[in-house]
Chains A and B, each alone.
Chain A
């Protein structure tokens, strides 16, 4: 009883925190149909701001700054208000211009905002933990229930605050005129606008309240666990999103219920399952995936939210402002359009340029960077199949990459070298066998993961794939026997051909380039056929595609499999090129980065993924020369985020969008013209 009771108490505290954050997701989703990933970061800001306001002095940008040292309630209030304002500003700058854009654009922007806020926080407060100062209530004796359950006074405060805040919000939504306006906007924004509701102000209010809730949850979390850190919002944010989906996104009571369930399941799972604490993160996501599979609308949600708007993911050109910017894009477009018209010769031209660059670049350092460009370009090409062509937002792509990397590493290092004492150079040919093998394995894996997602659309699909990605990562960390856990696998041999080691940076670059030719060629052949036409048809209008005889479920899986194959295939080379892999290589952030590369370059083009990779990785290196970035390396990620937001607002279709891909077999058209 006492062990159970204690777990129950822990679960309730955690549940209260999840519930408060889930309310933020639900409130904003209900009004504008946006999954604002940035709430995890607003949660973190709430924690940092409260902590800073409570301390007598804080180190900001590396300098000690005096602080007021408020007691917790005042500091909390200040933090909630400031975070609320930040939320409104974010909405104004990053989301409002995209209000009528296809739904992928705001989703990506929200991920970008998340990246910006997190790297800014790390720039301001540093990479260290900030200890949460003890509030006097926390020094009081714990309350003992049933002689055995110890509840600290602060735990009770956390629970009471959550209950009061949520009841208050429910009352506010039900009774106040702003609450009524919110409900009206949630039902039908256009109609709400027509009857004179200032929808923009209502949305701003939803963001303000939502951000306030996230901040409150964040500061309670920091209070409970005793610290604030720039990446602390990431997992609780995902969990809260899970809770919101669990309860049925858009429903405030649902968010409360979802948060509570998640908190309890996690606490009890950690306590009772074997090695439960290690697996507790996976528990939430397994719950999420299972629920979305059985009941996509969540416990208390409405089924119509599981829908995707018809039309392209990112829509056409944005008409929004900044003439000079559009002029630059127009010039690039003209060039790309000419290149795309040239088709295959243009591809050979680009390859020739890559070969010449590979031969001419003198420094090993830059060759390594260019190799990374090619690797990331290939991975992004794999992701592009599913996101860009088939139009299914996949946040679990890294799993396929991980499958490939782990397969070859486990075989070479853990099985052959450590298990049987076989030196890697004796079995050099295994690498070439592993490339297609890992591709097939990852493709099978992709079909396995893709199948339960078939019923889901739009945001729910993204959330479910995200759950899968996280599960794979947690498994990679905790399945020690298979993966060597967080230590990773060392000593993966460099690629080798007939006993000649291809370890030099130049050899690796050309190896990568050769693989890229294979990947792009194979993907292009599939896309430029009835398969690619089926994918694009699904992306543009799933129902119409179905009515034209395209078995959409099968072609979605086809896209997953193709994407998975590329991920596994490239993963093999990645492992041999890095010679060391660990679960850290395959985080959600990597997936987001790949997604951003594709979006940056242009979804649904062959060139886009490589353009995106080139710009980002070269930018990363060049930025290191800027004095400001040298002082605060984290700001590079903030800059990436800013670039993406600007791109989404002014150029949602990506830089290389006009390198439009033809969807008929090149040969077939040439014959026809003759």
Chain B
């Protein structure tokens, strides 16, 4: 049913995550279509971040398979996921302390550097060229996420919360990922900022990068996402087009409480 024929970029099949006796994710099936903006939603404690951590290799599932771009990736470590083109941001921003914005973003391009130690020490032309090219690309991406050149040399962790989120997105994009996973990119932002980030996500997709995001703001989710996966208690509650999913009585009950 699912698989290459449906054009899924990332597929999870029967993923189970258990922490001790607690089943955080119970037999989840989901597929992220190529070129989609895919929303992962659900009430607090539904297991959204756990799923995102599974999809980026941070948590190895107790059982189940992960297929990314036609390749089985379940057995890889975090770095293996990153190398195959999955990039992520974190719910609580995790920028590298003591690094400037430019340096932090450049870390995202790590896989694109290959100069040997002697080449670096003797300042080989190719090593310099690679550095220059990546610095130029970092500036482009900083502009793309809406940050001016003036912030490039500031220590990233001293920026405002909203700017730090943008730096994190730029850092993730720097690896030229196939799939960008955003863990609550709009958390703690005002309405205007939320719209800006939503626009940014659309532009990312316009560049051919598939996006999977966790979000709570249903207004934004409705307008931004092409596809939603709803979790409750670690299980799939609904999956499909936003309008149809959000109209589902089971989804409404999960969000508004069953008492109604």
Q: Is A175 an interface residue (CB 8 A)?
A: no
B49-81 contacts to A (CB < 8 Å) = 56-58, 77-79, 81
Q: Is B144 an interface residue (CB 8 A)?
A: no
Contact of A545 with B96 at beta-carbon distance under 8 Å, contacts A533-B107, A663-B103 already known: yes
Residue-wise, chain A 315-357 has the 8 Å CB interface mask toward B (1 for contact) of: 0000000000000000000000000000000000000000000
User: Which of B28-36, B117-125, B189-197, B243-251 lines the interface with chain A?
Assistant: B117-125
Residue-wise, chain B 102-114 has the 8 Å CB interface mask toward A (1 for contact) of: 1100111111010
Residues of A within 8 Å of B77, CB to CB, are: 546
Contact of A311 with B97 at beta-carbon distance under 8 Å, contacts A546-B77, A664-B131 already known: yes
The answer to whether B96 and A543 touch across the interface, beta carbons within 8 angstroms, is no
The residue among B88, B120, B136 with the most chain A CB atoms within 10 A of its own CB is B120
The answer to whether A534 and B107 touch across the interface, beta carbons within 8 angstroms, is yes
Q: Is B224 an interface residue (CB 8 A)?
A: no
The answer to whether A543 and B128 touch across the interface, beta carbons within 8 angstroms, is no
Complex: how many Å from CA A547 to CA B168? 12
Residues of A within 8 Å of B79, CB to CB, are: 546-547, 549-552
The answer to whether A546 and B82 touch across the interface, beta carbons within 8 angstroms, is yes
User: Which of A76-84, A193-201, A286-294, A665-673 lines the interface with chain B?
Assistant: A665-673
Complex: how many Å from CA A371 to CA B83? 47
Complex: how many Å from CA A14 to CA B106? 54
The answer to whether B127 and A548 touch across the interface, beta carbons within 8 angstroms, is no
Q: Within the complex, which residue of A525, A536, A548, A672 is in contact with B108, where a contact is CB–CB below 8 Å?
A: A548
The answer to whether A547 and B82 touch across the interface, beta carbons within 8 angstroms, is yes
The answer to whether B132 and A671 touch across the interface, beta carbons within 8 angstroms, is yes
Complex: how many Å from CA A664 to CA B109? 13
Q: Is A541 an interface residue (CB 8 A)?
A: yes
B8-65 contacts to A (CB < 8 Å) = 56-58
The answer to whether B110 and A547 touch across the interface, beta carbons within 8 angstroms, is no
Q: Is B90 an interface residue (CB 8 A)?
A: yes
The answer to whether B78 and A547 touch across the interface, beta carbons within 8 angstroms, is yes
Residues of A within 8 Å of B122, CB to CB, are: 525
Q: Within the complex, which residue of B94, B120, B128 is in contact with A541, where a contact is CB–CB below 8 Å?
A: B94
Q: Is B227 an interface residue (CB 8 A)?
A: no
Q: Is B175 an interface residue (CB 8 A)?
A: yes
Q: Within the complex, which residue of B99, B121, B123 is in contact with A536, where a contact is CB–CB below 8 Å?
A: B99
Q: Is A522 an interface residue (CB 8 A)?
A: yes
Q: Is B98 an interface residue (CB 8 A)?
A: yes
Give the size range of A's interface with the partner. Answer: 35 or more
The residue among B87, B96, B171 with the most chain A CB atoms within 10 A of its own CB is B96
Q: Is B237 an interface residue (CB 8 A)?
A: no
Complex: how many Å from CA A522 to CA B119? 11
Residues of A within 8 Å of B56, CB to CB, are: 547
The answer to whether A533 and B127 touch across the interface, beta carbons within 8 angstroms, is no
For chain B, the count of residues having a C-beta within 8 Å of the partner chain is 45
Residues of B within 8 Å of A671, CB to CB, are: 132
Q: Is B198 an interface residue (CB 8 A)?
A: no
A552-606 contacts to B (CB < 8 Å) = 552, 562, 604
Residue-wise, chain A 639-670 has the 8 Å CB interface mask toward B (1 for contact) of: 00000000000000000000010111101110
The answer to whether B131 and A529 touch across the interface, beta carbons within 8 angstroms, is yes
B120-156 contacts to A (CB < 8 Å) = 120-123, 127-128, 131-132, 134-136, 139
The answer to whether B99 and A663 touch across the interface, beta carbons within 8 angstroms, is yes
The answer to whether B128 and A526 touch across the interface, beta carbons within 8 angstroms, is no
Residues of A within 8 Å of B172, CB to CB, are: 548
Complex: how many Å from CA A39 to CA B12? 52
Complex: how many Å from CA A547 to CA B82? 6
Q: Is A531 an interface residue (CB 8 A)?
A: yes
Q: Is B254 an interface residue (CB 8 A)?
A: no
Q: Is B115 an interface residue (CB 8 A)?
A: yes
Q: Is A530 an interface residue (CB 8 A)?
A: yes
Complex: how many Å from CA A562 to CA B116? 13
Residues of B within 8 Å of A310, CB to CB, are: 94
The answer to whether A530 and B98 touch across the interface, beta carbons within 8 angstroms, is no
The residue among A526, A604, A662, A672 with the most chain B CB atoms within 10 A of its own CB is A672
Q: Within the complex, which residue of B98, B102, B111, B120 is in contact with A540, where a contact is CB–CB below 8 Å?
A: B98
- Identify the B interface with A (CB < 8 A): 56-58, 77-79, 81-83, 87-88, 90, 94-100, 102-103, 106-111, 113, 115, 117, 120-123, 127-128, 131-132, 134-136, 139, 171-172, 175
- Identify the A interface with B (CB < 8 A): 310-312, 521-522, 525-526, 529-531, 533-534, 536-537, 540-541, 543-552, 562, 604, 660, 662-665, 667-669, 671-672
Query: What would 28 A/B residue contacts be, using CB atoms closer than 8 Å?
Result: A310-B94, A312-B98, A526-B117, A529-B115, A529-B120, A529-B127, A529-B131, A530-B134, A536-B96, A537-B110, A540-B99, A541-B97, A543-B94, A544-B96, A545-B96, A546-B77, A546-B79, A547-B56, A547-B78, A548-B87, A548-B172, A549-B108, A549-B175, A663-B103, A664-B103, A668-B135, A669-B135, A671-B132
Other A-B pairs beyond A529-B115, A547-B78, 20, CB < 8 Å:
A312-B98, A521-B121, A525-B122, A526-B121, A529-B113, A529-B131, A530-B109, A533-B103, A533-B106, A534-B110, A536-B98, A540-B96, A544-B94, A547-B56, A548-B171, A551-B79, A662-B103, A664-B102, A665-B127, A672-B132
Q: Which 5 pairs show the lowest CB-CB distances between chains A and B?
A: A530-B113, A549-B82, A540-B96, A668-B131, A546-B78
